[in-house]
Amino acid sequence: MLNRYPSWKNITVILVTVIGILLALPNLYGEDPSVQVSENNAQVSSATTLQVEQALDAAKLPYKSAVISDNRVLVRFSDTDTQLRALSVVKKSLGSNFVVALNLAPRTPRWIRDIGLRPMAKGLDLQGGVHFQLQVDLDAAVQAKLQRDMTDLRGAMREKLIHYQDVSISGDTINMLFRTADDVSKARALLSTQYPELTVNSGTPANSLAARISPQAVQSIRQLAVEQNITTLRNRVNELGVAEPVVQQQGGNSIVVELPGVQDTARAKEILGATATLEFRLVDYTADAVSAQKTGHIPLDDQLFTDKSGRPVLLKRDVIVSGDQLVNATSGFSQEDGTPDVNVTLDSAGAAKMGETTRENLNRPMAVLYIETKTERTTVNGQVIPVHKKVYTVINVATIRGIFSKNFQISGLGQDEAKNLSLLLRAGSLAAPMDIVEERTVGPSLGQENIKQGFYAALLGFVLVVVFIAMYYKTFGVIADLAVFMNLVLTVALLTIFQATLTLPGIAGIVLTLGMGVDANVLINEHIREEVRAGNSPQASIHAGYERAFATIVDAHVTTLTAAVMLFLFGTGPVKGFAVTLSLGILTSLFTAIMGTRSIVNWVYGGRKLTRLPV
Amino acid sequence: MEFFHKVPHINFLAVRKLAMGMSVVVLLIAIASLVIHGLNFGVDFTGGVTVQVSYPAPADLQTVRSTLARAGFPDAIVQNFGTPEEVLIRLQPKRGVSGKDTGNNVMDALQKVTPQVKLEQVNFVGPEVGKDLAYKGALAFILTLLGILAYVWLRFERRLAIGGVLATLHDVVFVVGVFSIFHIEFDLNVLAAVLAVMGYSVNDTVVVFDRIREDFRKLRKGTPFEIINLAINQTLSRTIITSGTTLLVVIALLILGGPVLHGFSLALFVGIIVGTYSSIYIASAAAFMLGVSKKDLMVRVKGDQPVDDMP
């Protein structure tokens, strides 16, 4: 008998339907505006929850719940207004060791969360937030590496009693000038054993060497620089306490950062864009810094810097410890006089060096040099080029009061300064300066407006199509409507599995695939009508209708998919989102139109004697 | 409900020359506008800063302009965005000042005059990013065309492939032309819509081609003129319903989707209408004029199989 479906096909359709509905389900529940609290380098405890609850009660702010999940306290509110007020209340009551951030907590019931299902994340255009695209200055990374090599080299040569007159960098080369030929040969030996990435040649004046960095080394420095910057940015973003941040590489030298829900964008940018690092250096107390500044006569091993109030300070060229040797840094208050300070912990290499230096220089001054990279744009040959300028500030000079190595405090800072400094230190330093080339900020109310408009448009479009198709094709139209609805459910389910981010163009893509998903059903029903008109029996008409529509549907879908795939490959951001929903919608429409409707049609009409078809 | 109870007998191909001529004229106008006016590219492509703010009451654009001019932004482009309360300000980036700072400066200036004004959105796009986008967009366009050409060529036939590509090209130029002639902002979303129009247009065309191929194979008599006309008539009902339902959805987006999706929905709206037209008058007519015939579309028989296994 015609139009009976093998049971495996029916089971497949039922299974896919059930799984699809289950996967799409988490998206139905919506979200609570909430505030999340996490603690720096520690587990949050129920004491924190209690403290948060007391603070909110005291401020008479109603909350839905406050529970610990994923090592953070999550407090839910019924509206964003309360949420915003609660944020400042909680921040004030907890102090600086806690990260307090806004979040949208999904309202999905427990059993759905327990099987690991989460709703789709919303894009910035739907929930507000900031989007940055940063370009990494890779040449600067190479320069920084040379700089480190040079400092290292100086120390190593002094240790080996190689007498050098000058060591300097020009381009990708470290130039060295020595007193005697003996020093040159000793330096050559040192370079060849310890610095394999440098190619050593004799320099132009006698007794000099030129060590050039090899192209392979440059290549790997560049790659590492982007990777390290991404890691650093991730750490910094985590410090900001953003709920669902995105930090990813785009192309060869760009990094995209998306911070949904962030409202204090100025601070976000300050933290992200800051390419600050610290160096601990000894102060040259034997020379007079003021006269050095006036005469320009600076001792050979010294460099002249200024402190925050512009006073000159002479520091030794050699760096005791630099920012990348830091393990941890927390802000707090000095136990002696209660002024703000930063507690620093070093790694073992840094600790050894620090211990050695402090032992030899007890009661002598040591300085903290703060190096910040600022970006300026200048026009060269009509092209706007970002130029990175390093700004050096001596933020602190203190006498070494004891021998310390692993742990010590930096004092003499303002409270905010201490907090920001500890944050930057913790988050590590950037391997190369970055330049913000794209920046988008969406306010939270605009996000809600967008989601409302997108939702209503989708709903209206869907209802119009469903009503029309049901009227036009009667029972077969209702079946087609079921297929279109399943198409919607399956598209959402797939997007949820892939954890795609839902954007406004994404919603448009879903809506558009609804319109196009109808097409497959229209093709089938038109073919069935044609068969009926040609005088074929109802069962034969169904059979032939599906058969003939099949090739057309596949052809039409494949060509549309071609365009969607191109969109995906070459699109960025929202366009990609649109392409993904469009592609998935096309694929699910193939399934629902061909197999889904056939299964229902066969179940309703298959194997029966029919005199006419309601199509 | 049925639009056509019987297969209609509209002689589409009879007016092919007139339709083609009209299309050529319209396309020439579109191209001329593109050459003369160019496109009103959005900040996504040109680079620059857009600041979207909302006022508690309908905003007086003239005041906003003069306020900004006094604050050092004489070249700011100020326009309403969606509602009279929403204002979109477009600026060229200043050297050494980031987008965020520009946004803050604009807000400070506006809030001095109207304290209740709210910042909704700031976009800053560097000029390099914009160039990259335009390049990638063009590449996607060309590769999509090639992809369509290759698929239709392999699945159908050379003349039909050319017709399909011509139709797709026609639709894209038409849509982009509309954006140029009416000076509507062309942003990233519109680019996505234009590429989606390519997908839609070829979808529509392929359905007609499929029928043309089927009819050529099935019907023993009939000139290519009659068969192509018949195929178009047979698929007419489907063409109208699919275009109609997709248009319903796009109209919903156009009306309710808000200003962000306006350009996107408009591009689709225009694209679907011309896409439907072009699958008949460009794709099919071009294939006919190129001389597609029965023998081009017959099933290629493999050598080792009997041609006919009927006794």
> Is residue B72 situated within a structural domain?
yes
Q: What CATH code is carried by the domain that includes residue B117?
A: 3.30.70.3400
The answer, as to whether pTM is greater than 0.90, is: no
Q: According to the model, what pLDDT value does residue B309 have?
A: 47
What is the helix (H) or strand (E) element at residue A120, kind and residue range?
none
**In terms of pLDDT, which residue wins out, B14 or A499?**
B14
- CB spacing of B252 vs A516 below 8 angstroms: no
- Cα–Cα distances in angstroms (integers) from residue B230 to residues A35, B112, B202, in the given order: 65, 69, 20
Q: Is residue B215 part of a domain?
A: yes
Nearest residue to A442 (alpha-carbon basis) of B54, B97, B94, B105: B54
Provide CATH code, domain A31-106: 3.30.70.260
* pLDDT at position B163: 94
Residue B176 reports pLDDT greater than 70:
yes
Residues 99-158 of A with CB under 8 A from B: 125, 133, 135
Rg (CA), chain A: 33
Q: Which positions in chain B touch A456 (Cβ < 8 Å)?
A: 256
> A442 in contact with B at a CB cutoff of 8 Å?
yes
Distance from chain centroid for Cα A483:
38
How many Å lie between the alpha carbon of B253 and the closest alpha carbon of chain A? 5
Give the sign of the dihedral formed by CA B61, CA B66, CA B67, CA B69. Answer: positive
Given CB atoms, is B191 within the 8 Å cutoff of chain A? yes
* Residue A432 pLDDT: 74
Which chain B residues are closer than 8 Å to A464 by Cβ? 245, 248-249, 252
| Domain final residue pick, B125, B159, B191 | B125
Averaged pLDDT in 10-residue chunks for chain A of 615 residues:
80 92 88 80 80 90 86 86 84 75 81 84 80 84 79 80 86 87 87 84 83 86 81 74 76 83 67 71 86 83 84 88 75 78 80 87 86 64 64 80 81 74 65 77 77 84 91 92 92 88 80 80 92 89 91 88 83 76 90 91 84 80
Instruction: Name which of B120, B127, B260 is nearest A504 (Cβ-Cβ).
Output: B260
Say which residue, A24 or B76, is predicted with more confidence.
A24
Domain A274-441: assigned CATH number: 3.30.1360.200
Contact A559 B252 (CB under 8 A): no
Place of tokens 């190479």: A142
CATH number of the domain located at residue range(s) A7-26+443-605 in this protein: 1.20.1640.10
B287 occurs within a structural domain = yes
Main-chain phi, psi angles of A381, to 5 degrees: 50, 40
Q: Single out the residue in B125, B151, B175 at which a domain terminates.
A: B125
Report the gap between the CA of A555 and the closest CA in chain B (Å): 7
What per-residue confidence (pLDDT) applies to A129?
82
Domain range spanning residue B91? Answer: 48-125
pLDDT band at B133 (very low <50, low <70, confident <90, very high): confident
Q: Is A164 on the interface with B (CB under 8 A)?
A: no
pLDDT tens, B226-264?
Answer: 999 999 999 999 999 999 998 988 999 899 888 878 898
Nearest CA in chain B to A520: B242
Answer yes or no: do A440 and B248 touch at CB < 8 A: no
Cβ contact, residue pair B250, A442, below 8 Å: no
Contacts of B163 in chain A (CB under 8 A): none
Q: Read out DSSP for B256-304? A: HSTGGGHHHHHHHHHHHHHHHHHIIIIIIHHHHHTT--HHHHSPPPPTT
Q: Is B95 on the interface with A (CB under 8 A)?
A: yes
End-to-end CA distance of chain A: 21
Distance CA A304, CA A223 (A): 33
Q: Please indicate whether, in this complex, the C-beta atoms of B249 and A504 are within 8 angstroms of each other.
A: no
B277: in domain:
yes
In whole angstroms, give the CA distance from residue A146 to residue A440. Answer: 35
Distances (CA, A) of B224 to B144, B205, B206, B215, B294: 29, 17, 17, 10, 7
Q: A343, exposed or middle or buried, with CB in 10 Å at 0-12, 13-18, 19+?
A: middle
Q: Which two tokens stand for residue A264?
A: 């204090």
Instruction: Assess whether B198 and B212 both reside in one domain.
Output: yes
Q: How many domains does chain B have?
A: 2
Q: Is B92 on the interface with A (CB under 8 A)?
A: no
Considering the domain architecture, whether residues B133 and B233 belong to the same structural domain is answered as yes
Q: Whole-angstrom Cα distance, residue B257 to residue A461?
A: 11
Q: Name the more confident of B7 and B283.
A: B283
Size of interface A-B (CB pairs under 8 A): 236
Contact: B191, A582; criterion CB under 8 Å: no
Helix (H) or strand (E) holding A73: strand A72-76
How do the domains of chain A map onto residue ranges? 7-26+443-605, 31-106, 138-216, 274-441
Per the model's pLDDT, the better-predicted residue between A491 and B3 turns out to be: A491
For an interface test with A, the pick among B104, B256, B262 (most A C-beta atoms closer than 10 Å) comes out as B256
* B146 and B202 part of one domain: yes
Contact B235, B283 (CB under 8 A): no
Residue after which a domain boundary falls, among B125, B140, B157: B125
Can you give the three-state secondary structure of A209-267, one letter per residue? EEEEECHHHHHHHHHHHHHHHHHHHHHHHHHHCCCCCEEEEECCCEEEEEEECCCCHHH
Query: Is a pLDDT exceeding 60 seen at residue B307?
Result: no
**Is residue B241 located within the same domain as residue B192?**
yes
Q: How many angstroms separate the Cα of A364 from the Cα of each of A308, A359, A361, A398? A: 21, 10, 5, 8
Chain A residues inside the 8 Å CB shell of B103: 441
Tell whether A380 is within 8 A of chain B (Cβ).
no
- B72 CB within 8 Å of a chain A CB: no
Verify whether the Cβ–Cβ distance A439 to B98 is below 8 Å. Answer: yes
The architecture of the domain spanning A138-216 is: Alpha-Beta Complex (3.90)
Q: Tell me whether residue B307 is in a domain.
A: no
> Does A133 sit within 8 Å of B268, measured CB to CB?
no
Q: From chain B, pick out residues whose CB is under 8 angstroms from the CB of A442.
A: 120-121
Amino acid letter for position A187 = A
Question: A473, A480 in Cβ contact below 8 A?
Answer: yes
The pLDDT of residue A427 is: 58
- Closest among B285, B72, B255 to A454, alpha carbons compared: B255
Contact flag B140-A566 (C-beta cutoff 8 Å): yes
Q: How far apart are CA A209 and CA A101, in angstroms?
A: 55
Q: Are A551 and B210 in contact (CB under 8 A)?
A: yes
The Cα diameter of chain A in Å comes to: 111
Mean pLDDT of B292-308: 65
Same domain, B167 and B203: yes
Question: What pLDDT shows up at residue A252?
Answer: 76
Yes or no, beta carbons of B253 and A511 under 8 Å apart: yes
